[in-house]
């Protein structure tokens, strides 16, 4: 840790900042003895463990040490992992949430099978900050110890912590413990506060007088006493009654700390290892996701097999389907669709391990990329496209660029519900990232810019088609756009928002509840306008066909559209137009007769207006639309 690097703040109880460190290594290489010697704490919690001298489940211990660059005290909180192969599931539950590792190899035995598997698991989990302890140094001579260090360094070459410092120590004699403590201090790291706390539960129990208590390693953000939180994956609202960390009561737990949380609202029996405490609305609880895969040397990951997926403190039965089809082999990273047997609050970038249940063997692992992956990927073109999308997502994570990741995710999906975006992107709030990517919020869903352009083209084409099909109408009904966009598979509520975007961008014009293209208009000259209106008024209730009147008056479609839009002319049929004055005059004539005779039939209305059925029926329909008449069976009432 450099002198310039800030250290995370002391919590409300005044406890020093914490660095969580898991221990790993082969069975009986002295992990628990080392924790016991460093901390004075017995990490083996069960009588059977102490009787057999074998760690079965997770153990815990801590050490306050002045090992920062400025001499301030930090707390090293150890999670002691079992080394026996039969308890690898428990080992994974402790390693998954841990950000750093104390890797243990006994000087008298050297690198052993579980040393290899634990190192592979830590590498798959992406743990880079580590210290290696060569234990039982008192049992070998100097030359043997030097050789042990040299051989361990060679074995570390293929791990994610190849350059980790190596310290020889003895828990029995105390040799090297001070140096080991100081070296562990170099692992101290400020855990980022992303405002998205997640506590993977590794223990759940009940205390008389307090109720339900869960423990875990907190990451991603702060938790406080009295916070309202959610138990994932059940979506169950619960409340934090209180918290403790290393036997001290605290009111605020910072990211990166080991914490015991007293909960109200759920019994301990309903919470299992691998559940998580999160804030409402920030995480996507998914049982299906797309991921980047890596196979260990000599192994492959394929569709066949009974798979177990381990992430955080949890373990799930899983089905694995490589996107490209063939198995993923060592040295050839690939991508897969993974389904697990119950939902989990996973996020892009989360690391996981894959084990084959039948052989109880770690086969590989990977990194979560997309927690809202959409329909199954079928067909070569769709597979190739999906592979390109996943490469883009992986590249954004590699670059640590969450804005680039959000843009790639929106591009891949086109539409993502706003309620899912925080979890899908892995940031809260994520809306600024979507806006920066050019996405638009429509009906509570974010729409990618390219998708919006495609829908816009569909919408504008529909309006243009309407103009061509109805040359005498100035504007299209407003629902033409939504209907056209919905026809390509878009949810109607979202499709209805496309017109508003196009109006905002000046690509559509709204007029009296209708829509038209901006260039779809014209001007009427005074002589031509007067002649056109005269032709309609010469025989007001039996006007000439519209096309004929246009030719005789010498005006075009744009001119007619302007007269219609201005309310001077009314198009009652595609080729029948009347002046507004004619329609109002017809209304008054019908009203006068109605006052004398009562409801009028269509035939009687035709007689009153002295016209033919060709004109009378569309005229009556127009009066109905305007609310001047109201149809009652075969007759009409005429309203004022």
For 451, the 3-state DSSP assignment is helix
Label residue 392 by pLDDT band (50, 70, 90).
very high
* pLDDT for position 6: 31
Average pLDDT over residues 460-474: 82
Label residue 13 by pLDDT band (50, 70, 90).
very low
Average pLDDT over residues 134-154: 95
* pLDDT for position 499: 95
* pLDDT for position 14: 52
Average pLDDT over residues 91-115: 93
Label residue 186 by pLDDT band (50, 70, 90).
confident
Of 327, 234, 330, 337, the C-alpha closest to 292 is 337
**For the segment 524-580, what is each residue's pLDDT rounded down to a tens digit?**
567 778 889 999 999 999 999 998 988 888 787 777 887 888 788 999 998 899 999
For 206, the enclosing helix (H) or strand (E) is strand 198-207
CA pair distance 564, 501, nearest whole angstrom: 26
Higher pLDDT, 280 or 54: 280
Q: Are 216 and 97 in contact (CB under 8 A)?
A: yes
* pLDDT for position 325: 86
* pLDDT for position 470: 74
Q: 278, exposed or middle or buried, with CB in 10 Å at 0-12, 13-18, 19+? A: buried
DSSP state of 325: S
User: What does residue 160 show for φ and ψ, rounded to 5 degrees?
Assistant: -80, -5
Higher pLDDT, 265 or 55: 265
Average pLDDT over residues 278-293: 95
User: What is the percent of the chain where pLDDT is above 90?
Assistant: 71
* pLDDT for position 176: 95
Lowest mean pLDDT among 150-159, 366-375, 554-563: 554-563
**For the segment 317-340, what is each residue's pLDDT rounded down to a tens digit?**
999 999 998 999 998 889 999 999
* pLDDT for position 64: 84
Q: Which residues contact 314 (CB under 8 A, 6 or more apart)?
A: 93, 96, 200, 273, 274, 275, 276, 344
CA pair distance 419, 414, nearest whole angstrom: 15
User: What does residue 83 show for φ and ψ, rounded to 5 degrees?
Assistant: -100, -15
Q: Give the domains, in start order, of the chain with CATH numbers.
A: 18-187 (3.40.50.300), 198-278 (2.40.30.10), 287-398 (2.40.30.10), 449-516 (1.10.10), 538-545+557-640 (1.10.10.10)
The answer on pLDDT for 59 being more than 90 is no
pTM summary value: 0.78
CA pair distance 62, 75, nearest whole angstrom: 7
What are the residues facing 306 on neighbouring strands? none
- Helices assigned H by DSSP within 271-398: 380-398
What are the residues facing 353 on neighbouring strands? 310, 365
Label residue 43 by pLDDT band (50, 70, 90).
low
Q: What is the DSSP secondary-structure string of 454-522? A: HHHHHHHHHHHHHHHH-TT-SSEETHHHHHHHHTTT--HHHHTTHHHHHHHTTSSEEETTEEE-TT---
End-to-end CA distance of the chain: 87
Q: Are strands 100-106 and 18-25 parallel, antiparallel or unpaired?
A: parallel
The answer on pLDDT for 50 being more than 60 is no
Whole-number average pLDDT of the chain: 89
User: What does residue 177 show for φ and ψ, rounded to 5 degrees?
Assistant: -70, -40
How far, CA to CA in Å, does 324 sit from each of 336, 379, 432, 609? Answer: 8, 10, 34, 75
Please, what sign has the CA dihedral across residues 482, 487, 488, 492?
Answer: positive
Average pLDDT over residues 500-517: 90
CA pair distance 88, 91, nearest whole angstrom: 5
User: What is the percent of the chain where pLDDT is above 70?
Assistant: 92
Burial per residue of 68-80, b for 16 or more beta-carbon CB atoms within 10 angstroms, e otherwise: beeeeebbbbbbb
Higher pLDDT, 50 or 199: 199
């Amino acid at each position: 840790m450099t002198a310039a690097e800030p250290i995370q703040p002391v919590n409300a109880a005044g406890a020093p900042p914490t660095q969580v460190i898991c221990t790993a290594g082969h069975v009986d290489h002295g992990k628990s003895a080392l924790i016991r010697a460093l901390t004075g704490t017995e990490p083996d919690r069960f009588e059977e463990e102490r009787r057999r001298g074998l760690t079965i489940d997770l153990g815990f211990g801590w050490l306050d040490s002045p090992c920062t660059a400025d001499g301030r005290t930090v707390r090293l909180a150890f999670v002691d992992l079992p080394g026996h192969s039969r308890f690898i599931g428990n080992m994974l539950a402790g390693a998954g949430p841990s950000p750093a590792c104390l890797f243990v190899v006994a000087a008298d035995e050297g690198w052993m099978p579980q040393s290899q598997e634990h190192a592979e698991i830590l590498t798959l989990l992406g743990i880079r900050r580590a210290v290696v302890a060569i234990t039982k140094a008192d049992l070998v001579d100097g030359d043997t110890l030097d050789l042990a260090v040299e051989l361990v360094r060679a074995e570390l070459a293929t791990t994610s912590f190849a350059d980790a410092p190596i310290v020889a120590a003895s828990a029995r004699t105390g040799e090297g413990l001070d140096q080991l403590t100081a070296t562990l201090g170099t692992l101290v790291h400020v855990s980022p506060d992303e405002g998205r706390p997640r506590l993977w539960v590794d223990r759940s129990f009940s205390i008389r007088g307090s109720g339900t208590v869960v423990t875990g390693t907190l990451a991603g953000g702060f938790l406080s006493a009295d916070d309202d939180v959610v138990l994932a994956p059940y979506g169950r609202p619960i409340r934090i009654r209180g918290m403790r960390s290393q036997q001290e009561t605290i009111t605020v737990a910072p990211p990166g700390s080991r914490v015991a949380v007293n909960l109200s609202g759920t019994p301990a029996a309903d919470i299992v290892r691998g559940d998580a405490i999160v804030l409402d609305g920030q995480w996507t609880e998914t049982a299906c996701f797309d991921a980047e895969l890596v196979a260990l040397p000599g192994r492959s990951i394929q569709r066949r097999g009974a798979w177990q997926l381990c992430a955080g403190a949890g373990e799930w039965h899983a089905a694995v389907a490589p996107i490209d089809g063939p198995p993923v082999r060592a040295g050839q990273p690939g991508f897969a669709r993974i389904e697990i047997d119950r939902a989990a609050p996973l996020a892009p970038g989360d690391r996981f391990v894959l084990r084959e249940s039948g052989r109880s063997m770690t086969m590989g692992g990977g990194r979560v990329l997309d927690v809202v992956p959409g329909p199954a990927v079928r067909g070569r073109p769709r597979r190739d496209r999906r592979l390109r999308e996943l490469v883009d997502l992986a590249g954004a994570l590699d670059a640590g660029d969450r804005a680039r990741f959000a843009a790639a995710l929106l591009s891949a999906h086109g539409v993502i519900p706003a309620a899912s975006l925080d979890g899908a992107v892995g940031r809260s709030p994520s809306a600024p990232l979507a806006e920066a990517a050019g996405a638009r919020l429509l009906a509570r869903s974010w729409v990618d810019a390219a998708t919006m352009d495609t829908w816009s083209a569909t919408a504008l084409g529909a309006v243009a088609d309407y103009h061509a099909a109805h040359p005498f109408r100035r504007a299209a009904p407003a629902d033409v756009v939504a209907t056209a966009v919905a026809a390509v598979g878009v949810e109607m509520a979202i499709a209805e928002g496309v017109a508003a975007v196009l109006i905002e961008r000046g690509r559509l014009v709204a007029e009296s509840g209708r829509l038209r293209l901006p260039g779809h208009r014209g001007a009427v000259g005074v002589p031509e306008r007067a002649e056109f209106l005269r032709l309609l008024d010469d025989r007001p209730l039996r006007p000439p066909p519209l096309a004929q009147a246009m030719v005789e008056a010498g005006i075009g479609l744009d001119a007619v559209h302007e007269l219609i839009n201005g309310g001077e002319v009314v198009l009652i049929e595609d080729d029948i137009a009347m002046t507004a004055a004619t329609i109002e005059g017809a209304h008054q004539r019908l009203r006068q007769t109605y006052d004398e005779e009562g409801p009028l039939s269509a035939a009687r209305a035709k007689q009153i207006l002295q016209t033919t059925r060709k004109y009378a029926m569309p005229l009556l329909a127009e009066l109905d639309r305007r609310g001047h008449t109201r149809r009652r069976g075969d007759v009409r009432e005429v309203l004022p």
